[in-house]
Every structure is written in structure tokens, then in C-alpha cells.
Amino acid sequence: METQSLASYSWLWRCCFLVLLSFIVLHIFFVSISSSSDIDSNSPQLATSRFSLRGGSPQHGSRPQAENQHIVHVFEKAASHAFSGGLPGGLAMIIQVLSLMWLRTTVNYQYRFGLSMKEAFKQLYHQGGIPRFYSGVSFAILLGPLSRFGDTAANTGVLFFFQSLEIDSAKSYSVPIGVQTAFASIIASLWRMLLAPLDCVKTTLQVEGRDGFRVLYTKISNHGVSVLYHGAFGIAFATVVGHYPWFFVYNTLNQYLLEPVSLLGKLLRNGYIGFCSSAVSDVCTNSIRVIKTIRQTSRQSVSYKDSALAVIREQGYEGLLTRGLRTKILVNGLQAIMFTILWKLLEEQLAA
């Protein structure tokens, strides 16, 4: 029965391969676009399409007749810049997954069963020792970089787009950083929804361990393949709610905190920004992720409403808002520090 169940999920690995292949193809595509139609940063045409986040006048006179051409170039450059920002983010996430997944599994187990960190850790260890904490690691290795790639690509690309696009040919505008981050949040949420089946399988394996595939097989047999998208809207909502404050805090602190000259100072600055961004995001999204996890991992198909009511009946509204929150802040704080430092280091190395 277990062999049949695993075989029935072979198509999931094909989907994973197709997603990864699409990622590589898109990266090559945008890099080729950038190299074939690169714009000289010193040319008057590009200068007329730039404006600063802090405002200011264009460097040269406006050229309305070239406006459409400028917009096309802006999209090309924004796409290329997004992928250059997303690739370091993906590499940083792979390192995170391998080093801190055991804590992630503990958090999801707390979300599902409402245990303390100590109790969740004990139960997980008794279920299979250290390997139990890495249930679903193969899906996490694929999902983590893809998810963070979408986040960083959306943020980097949107910021570059607004920096490059001339809204009015006569003068420059200062687009609020919050507006720019909102656009990036929406794009990131749509990307996360596409990855919902991977997240569902990974989370179920983290919560159920070896029984995860059997639980999924039973749910699919009873309710269809659509159960793999249970939690998709929760993922999207949590992404918008969490992505916006994360990058808003990140972009704001990154804009106003002076960058030190020394490497140690840079690492401390990036780590501080990452921790603050993560803590604010976790407080905003914790209840959403609790509900999403329960809907994804319940052995029977349950709605978002029923998932929320189950937590409220057991632990009240406080439980809905704070279940696993302290552990989540600790784990995400460590991950955010690692990610922010590694992201910037890798981005500088790849840009060199």
C-alpha cells in the first residue's frame, strides 16, 4: 500500500521538475533580453527615463517621442534586475533550508497541535529521532528557493521599475516606498499560489511524518486533486500581509540606516534589518498561518472557518493569535538574519 501510495505521487516530482525547468528557462530568457538590448547608463535616452525615490530633476531634457521605447527598455531592465536579485535570494534560501529546517518542522507541528516548543520537540524526536525533523526536506529544498526567489525578484524588480520609469516627461515624481512595496507584495502572492501544491506536501510531511503521503493519498481519493490547493488563498493572503511589512521595514531601514564601511558593520546592519523585518511580519501573519496549516494538514477536508473555530474552541482568540508565535519569531529571526546577510553577500559577489 505504501509503495502504491508513493508511486501515485510520482507526478508531483514531474511538476517539481517542470517548475524548476521553467525557472531556469525564464532566467536564461531575461538574461538574453538584457544582453541583447542593454542600454548605456550614460546615454541621454536612459537619463530621461530615470527619477529618484527622493525626487529631483531629470538629468536631461524630456523626449516625448521616445517615450514608448523607454517603457519597453524599462520592462526589460526591470525583469533583468529582478532576476539578478532573485538568484542570490534563492541560493541563500537553500543554505537556510538545510541548516534550520528542524526548527521549521517544530513550528508547523506547534501550529497544527497547539503545543509548546518543548512539547513539540519531544514528540517529534520520539517519532523518529533527528531524521523526523527533516521530513519533507526534498520538497523544502525546492520550495524554499522558489518562494524566496519570487519575493526578492518581485521586490527588486518593482523597485528598479519605479526608479527607472518616467511617469511625467516634464518632471520627476517621488513614488512612496509603501506603494512600491504593495505592488511587489501582490506579485509575490500570485507566485506563492502557484507553488501551493509543493507547500501542501511539504507541510503535511512535516506534521505527519511517514504517514504524510498516506494522508494525502486518502484526501485526494476522497476529495480530488484540488486538496493540494487547500491553503492556497491562505498562502496568498499571508504573503501579502507578511511580505508587505517585511519589505516595507526592510526597504525603509535600508534607505535610512547608513551603510558601514567595514564588512562586520555591514553584516551587523543587514542582520539587524532582517530580524526587525521578520519580527514585524510574523506578528502580522501568525494567525493566518495557523489557520492555513490546519486546513492543509487536517486528515479531513476542513474550511478556513472551521480551522479557525477549532483553535478558538481549544485555546481562545489568544491561541489563534499567538500559537507558536514566540518560536516563529525566534526561527524566522534567525532565518531572516541568515537570509539578509547571505543575500547581500551573494548579490555583491554575482554583481562583481
- 3-class secondary structure for the chain? CHHHHHHHCHHHHHHHHHHHHHHHHHHHHHHHHHHHCCCCCCCHHHHHCCCCCCCCCCCCCCCHHHHHHHHHHHHHHHHHHHHHHHHHHHHHHHHHHHHHHHHHHHHHHHHHHCCCHHHHHHHHHHCCCHHHHHCCHHHHHHHHHHHHHHHHHHHHHHHHHHHHCCCCCCCCCCCCHHHHHHHHHHHHHHHHHHCHHHHHHHHHHHHHHHHHHHHHHHHHHHHCHHHHHCCHHHHHHHHHHHHHHHHHHHHHHHHHCCCCCCHHHHHHHHHHHHHHHHHHHHHHHHHHHHHHHHHHHCCCCCCHHHHHHHHHHHHHHHHHHHCCHHHHHHHHHHHHHHHHHHHHHHHHHHHC
Query: Of 192, 206, 190, 151, which is closest to residue 339 (Cα–Cα)?
Result: 151
- The answer, yes or no, to whether residue 66 has pLDDT greater than 80, is no
Q: How far is CA 108 from the centre of its chain?
A: 17
Kindly report which listed range (60-64, 116-120, 279-283, 301-305) carries the lowest average pLDDT score: 60-64
User: Which pLDDT score is estimated for 153?
Assistant: 80
CATH code linked to domain 77-351: 1.50.40.10
Q: Average pLDDT of 135-162?
A: 82
- The answer, yes or no, to whether residue 34 has pLDDT greater than 90, is no
Q: Average pLDDT of 58-72?
A: 50
Q: Average pLDDT of 127-153?
A: 86
- The answer, yes or no, to whether residue 104 has pLDDT greater than 60, is yes
Which band of pLDDT confidence, cut at 50, 70 and 90, is reported for residue 11?
A: very low
User: Which pLDDT score is estimated for 266?
Assistant: 84
Tabulate helix, strand, coil % of the chain (nearest 5).
Answer: 80, 0, 20
Which band of pLDDT confidence, cut at 50, 70 and 90, is reported for residue 88?
A: low
Most confident of 36-45, 177-186, 220-229: 220-229
Q: Average pLDDT of 190-213?
A: 93
Kindly report which listed range (9-23, 104-118, 169-183) carries the lowest average pLDDT score: 9-23
68-78 residue pLDDT tens: 555 555 455 54
Kindly report which listed range (23-27, 39-43, 161-165, 219-223) carries the lowest average pLDDT score: 39-43
Sole residue written with cell 543587514: 270
- The answer, yes or no, to whether residue 48 has pLDDT greater than 90, is no
**What is 110-153 written as a DSSP string?**
HHHH---HHHHHHHHHHTTSGGGGGTTHHHHHHHHHHHHHHHHH
Q: Average pLDDT of 144-163?
A: 78
What does pLDDT average to over the chain?
76
Largest CA distance in the chain: 72
Higher pLDDT, 128 or 146: 128
- Residue 173 · residue 62 · CB < 8 Å: no
Question: What gap in Å lies between CA 93 and CA 146, rounded to an integer?
Answer: 9
- The answer, yes or no, to whether residue 42 has pLDDT greater than 50, is no
Question: What gap in Å lies between CA 189 and CA 338, rounded to an integer?
Answer: 23
- The answer, yes or no, to whether residue 142 has pLDDT greater than 60, is yes
Query: Of 117, 135, 106, 265, which is closest to residue 213 (Cα–Cα)?
Result: 135
Which band of pLDDT confidence, cut at 50, 70 and 90, is reported for residue 28?
A: very low
Most confident of 17-26, 162-171, 251-260, 305-314: 305-314
Model confidence, pTM: 0.69
Higher pLDDT, 205 or 337: 205
Q: Average pLDDT of 198-213?
A: 94
Other Cβ atoms closer than 10 A to 52? 12
Q: Average pLDDT of 255-259?
A: 89
Question: Domain boundaries in the chain?
Answer: 77-351
309-339 residue pLDDT tens: 999 999 999 999 999 999 999 887 787 677 6
User: Which pLDDT score is estimated for 205?
Assistant: 96
Higher pLDDT, 78 or 86: 86
263-308 residue pLDDT tens: 788 888 888 888 898 899 999 999 999 999 999 999 888 999 999 9
Which band of pLDDT confidence, cut at 50, 70 and 90, is reported for residue 112?
A: very high
